[in-house]
Amino acid sequence: MSDEKDRLGQRLRDVEAAREDQWARKRDAELLEQMRERLNAMLCPYCKASLGAASEGGVEMLKCPNDHGAWLGKKTLERLLSRRK
Ligand SMILES: [Zn+2]
């Protein structure tokens, strides 16, 4: 009887763990989707084309595919400007 109780307890823990895994996977998928939507929301202010990730001279940036400009993080820009001094 005690053995059966243990097995039942283990089974319940397994089911609970599986539910948590499923929840975590769903949550990860939702977060990835939000990140994709945010990336898609980055549009060039001139032509509204989606900005693409690019790397020039080791500097990561988002660029307009029609060469209207490139966008950098503020810290990256500050680092680049401080190199010129
Ligand atoms: Zn543009």
pLDDT in tens, 18-66: 988 888 888 888 887 787 777 667 899 999 998 899 998 888 899 999 9
Tell me the residues surrounding ligand 1 (ion) with CB < 5 Å.
Answer: 44, 46-47, 49, 64, 66, 68
Asked if 72 and 55 count as a contact pair (C-beta separation under 8 A), the reply is no
Confidence of residue 83 (pLDDT cuts 50, 70, 90): confident
The pLDDT assigned to 37 comes to 73
Distance of CA 80 to the CA centre of its chain: 25
Domain ranges of the chain: 1-41, 42-85
Taking the CA of residue 25 as centre, how many other CA atoms within 13 Å lie in the half-sphere pointing to its CB? 6
The pLDDT assigned to 66 comes to 97
How many A from CA of 33 to the centre of ligand 1? Answer: 24
Judge whether residue 1 has pLDDT over 70.
Answer: no
What's the rounded Cα separation, in Å, for the pair 43 and 52?
Answer: 9
